[in-house]
A and B are shown apart, each in its own frame.
Chain A
Amino acid sequence: MIPELGHLALILALCLAVAQAGFGLIGPWRKQLIWMSVARPAAVAQAGFVILAFAALAYAFLTNDFSVQYVADNSNTALPWPYRITAVWGAHEGSLLLWVTVLGLWTIAVARFSRHLPLELVSRVLGVLGVISIGFLLFMLFTSDPFTRLLPPVEQGRDLNPILQDPAMAIHPPMLYTGYVGFSVAFAFAIAALLGGRMDAAWARWSRPWTLVAWLFLTFGITLGSWWSYYELGWGGWWFWDPVENASFMPWLVGTALVHSLVVTEKRGAFKSWTALLAIAAFSLSLLGTFLVRSGVLISVHAFATDPKRGIFILGMIAVFVGAALTLYAWRSPTLSSGGGFKPFSRETLLLLNNILLVVAAGAVLLGTLYPLVLDALDLGKLSVGPPYFKAVFIPIMLPFLVLIGIGPYVRWKRGDSRDTLRAVRISAAVTLLLAVVCIALAGSQTSLMLVIGIVLGIWAILSALREPIHRLRARHDGRHITLPRGMIGMSLAHLGAGVLVLGITITSILGVEEDRVMSPGDTASVAGYQFKFDGVHNVQGPNYQADQGVFHVMRNGSEVTTMLPEKRQFTTTVTTEAAIDPGLFRDIYVALGNPLDNGAWSVRLQYKPLVRFIWLGGVFMMLGGILAASDRRYRRNAPQAEFDTSAAKPAEPDSEVVTENRE
């Protein structure tokens, strides 16, 4: 009964989505006030029914209702109950329902927090979100209904894929989807502005917090995914350039560009059509990600069960959504004014460079991801490009980017003054060089060019991010009236995160040690100054698995550091590797069991990973920066303000203090 109600809720949601899209989009066109006011309640009701459907599926999982095919395929009675909830999005149908549910939550948020915006705009934004809901609800109802019954029901379900039975993996998809789907709001704002022909600073200011929130969730989701693959896949890697990882990374890169270009549009009224294009691109890449994961055109460790019918449907959806958006863009954006002019040395120029680098990086990732498909489609053979391609292309693009990150905030809008900028960055530049020399001296014989560059750029980004808040705090300490707006602190924190991330990546990749050994009980192996004594393997019984647990005593300089217990878990049908990790802020030690060999010996992977935590710490800093920036007071003002000039004069602007003092 409950599953049928869930199914019915989806159908009702579809009907309401049609109302939401129809009234929302046609209302402003026909200037029908009443139609426009229907969009909001229709949107909220639509989202409500989707959430109801989600609850129905969750209920079916919690009560082990194996008469539902999807439940029987992805859960069984031995599964601990928190994982029965997360099993809802453990496979294709349910994760699609999660997608639509997240879209519903975003829709409710937009409906709730947009009361101060012009009705026409809100109505269009909700209308566009309604169109997206229609697409995905149709997709679900026609090709991927999670409520299909399995009659007669089975006694016991299959197990949830064991590698998904993990806390981080359980919340990874919702975070990632919140980011992906969040770009649909930025997209909807861009389309609404293009439709209304009003693409101004106010539009940029309204989209900014939404874009930031989507971006920070995506940042968190990617960070979480990277951390998860580090400890769960058992290889000690943290990024694989897998097509599905790339599918989340491309919208992130474009989203990062969008976050920056929105600033220019808001403050200076420039880059309008470019910003609109980025908003369309970020969402399109989210859709593309969905397509790549679900259509089976690319092989990936993440790929869901594939079905060409689904691929065709998503492709059609991309064609309609993105095609319509880009047509609208091509039609409307030539009429937009180009906004304020600027000199070659100005913050606008630097942000433009930032955008170009990020978009080129996203393009390079797209090319690498699709290259195998292109060759195959042209019958040129089968080939895949691996990490070497991505490293060769991506790193050179990121180097100038990291130089810019330390300069950009200290260059004035419109017309920069190189002396002011130089004065602002000289201390951080000097300290960077000093610290880099120290680090290189410490690294000794392991020094390489990439190590030097990575350390220099990482420290550079961190120090120049710190400079502005410290400067302001000192000025305030001196009794001057200087504000510390959250937007500015958020930016500094995010830039700091980028620096921390770069340090982590550089040092782990270059100074990390990884050794595969064959060890018998009693053997001791020495890696990077740590001695690993292997005390054999014994059996452990888990709630729904059996495990071989290895015992390793780790010593350093004769004193015991820790005891590590890596496991090889045998689920109903699958074996997973649970690596044992002794974490530390500055280094991780990592032990994973490979395969059993003769006489109790095992193949073992031992790793020493310096600063690996910095990679995720950097991601967390970026996310926190996003939270701070999105919660800036300016976005919570109630009255809409159309002119960018007024806001540009506010002290809340995250400008450097040098600039504030010298303002004309």
Chain B
Amino acid sequence: MKLRYLGYTLPILVLVALLALFSRGLFLNPRVVPSPLIGKAVPVFSLPRLDAPTQTFTQDEFKGKVALLNVWATWCVACRDEHEALVQFAKQNVIPIYGLDYKDERQSALDWLAKEGDPYTAVAFDATGDVAINWGVYGAPETFLLDKHGIIRHKYIGPLTQDIIQHDLLPRIQKLEQAGS
């Protein structure tokens, strides 16, 4: 008889277990995926600059300073959401922000920056997305934090906000700036 009652209460136990799982899940961020590239040097690449197709942009650009590399595109809705935050951050002049324009069209990208403001020190134009693959990019926007030796220290997936920049990125930047001095 006991066993019979257990059968009837089993669904509740399943529910409780699931609820526990979900409430834990709510406070996890599925977008925080550890990148295998963290702690490694940036991939070697050579791309044309967005504004000047004849000039090339290589990994050497990042040497000697803490920098951000933001992967974006005009077709990406979430990039539009983070753009304002990037523009504001650029105005503070903390570190240079580089852009990697990913699978995009040159003219629409230039128009977009002219209209919405250009937070980037320089933008590499990756029309085919091949370089982005080497960086392990699987969607825009993604943002990489690089140290003075051109080593990837942090990766943020998804749109940046003022809040994330102030409370997550800035402390990391300060740590990196102090570390290498």
Contacts and interface: CB of A to CB of B under 8 A. Distances in A.
B11 A377 contact: no
Contact of B25 (A333, A377, A382): A377
B30 A372 contact: yes
B75 A575 contact: yes
Interface string B1-33: 000110011011001001101111111101101
A484 interface: no
B71 to A, nearest CB: 16
B65 interface: no
B163 to A, nearest CB: 14
B30 A326 contact: no
A557 B156 CA distance: 53
Interface string B49-80: 00000000000000000000000001111001
Contact of A573 (B4, B24, B26, B77): B77
A542 to B, nearest CB: 16
A315 B24 CA distance: 11
B26 A297 contact: yes
A446 interface: no
A372 B12 CA distance: 23
B23 A296 contact: no
Contacts of B77: 161, 573-574
B93 interface: no
Contacts of A288: 18
Nearest to B74: A573
A372 B76 CA distance: 26
B103 interface: yes
Interface in B62-104: 74-77, 80, 103
A335 B93 CA distance: 73
A366 to B, nearest CB: 9
Contacts of A326: 11-12, 15
A273 B4 CA distance: 12
Contacts of B75: 570, 573-575
Interface in A254-292: 273, 277, 280-281, 284, 288, 291
Contacts of B22: 291, 295, 297, 311, 315, 318, 373
Contacts of A333: 8
Given A311-B26, A595-B128, A373 B21 contact: yes
Contacts of A560: none
B12 A327 contact: yes
Contact of B30 (A299, A327, A330): A299
A273 B8 CA distance: 9
Interface string A539-579: 00000000000000000000000000000001001110000
Given A277-B11, A334-B8, A319 B19 contact: yes
Contact of A315 (B19, B33, B108, B128): B19
B15 A299 contact: no
A390 interface: no
Interface in A167-186: none
A197 interface: no
Nearest to A291: B22
B40 to A, nearest CB: 19
A322 interface: yes
- Pick the most buried of B4, B22, B103, B108: most chain A CB atoms within 10 A of its CB: B22
Contacts of B28: 297, 373, 376-377
Nearest to A322: B15
Interface string A343-378: 000000000000000000000000000101110110
Nearest to A277: B11
A138 to B, nearest CB: 19
Nearest to B4: A334
Contact of A329 (B4, B11, B21, B108): B11
A373 B25 contact: yes
Contacts of B21: 370, 373-374, 377
A652 interface: no
- Pick the most buried of A297, A333, A595: most chain B CB atoms within 10 A of its CB: A297
Interface residues of A, number: 40
Contact of B19 (A161, A273, A281, A318): A318
A296 B19 CA distance: 15
B15 A295 contact: no
B25 A329 contact: no
Nearest to A334: B8
Contacts of B103: 595
Nearest to A318: B19
Contacts of A281: 11
A111 interface: no
Contacts of A595: 103, 128
A339 interface: no
Contacts of A374: 21
Contacts of B11: 277, 280-281, 326, 329-330
Given A308-B26, A312-B26, A573-B75, A299 B31 contact: yes
B80 A376 contact: no
A632 to B, nearest CB: 31
B172 to A, nearest CB: 20
A323 interface: yes
A187 to B, nearest CB: 14
A291 B21 CA distance: 13
A298 interface: yes
Contacts of B19: 315, 318-319
A373 B18 CA distance: 11
A299 B108 CA distance: 29
A383 B21 CA distance: 16
A323 B25 contact: no
B122 to A, nearest CB: 23
Interface string A568-612: 001001110000000000000000000101000000000000000
Contacts of B34: 382
A297 B30 contact: yes
A575 B77 CA distance: 10
- Pick the most buried of A281, A318, A382, A575: most chain B CB atoms within 10 A of its CB: A575
Contacts of A295: 22, 25-26
A376 B74 contact: no
19 contacts: A161-B77, A281-B11, A297-B22, A308-B26, A312-B26, A318-B22, A322-B15, A323-B12, A326-B15, A333-B8, A334-B4, A334-B8, A372-B30, A373-B21, A373-B22, A373-B28, A377-B21, A382-B30, A573-B80
Interface of B: 4-5, 8-9, 11-12, 15, 18-19, 21-28, 30-31, 33-34, 74-77, 80, 103, 108, 128
Please provide the 5 A-B residue pairs with the shortest distance between their CB atoms, ordered closest to farther: A297-B25, A377-B24, A575-B75, A330-B8, A326-B12
Interface of A: 161, 273, 277, 280-281, 284, 288, 291, 295-299, 308, 311-312, 315, 318-319, 322-323, 326-327, 329-330, 333-334, 370, 372-374, 376-377, 382, 570, 573-575, 595, 597
Given A288-B18, A323-B15, A597-B128, 7 more contacts: A281-B11, A299-B30, A315-B19, A326-B12, A330-B8, A333-B8, A573-B74
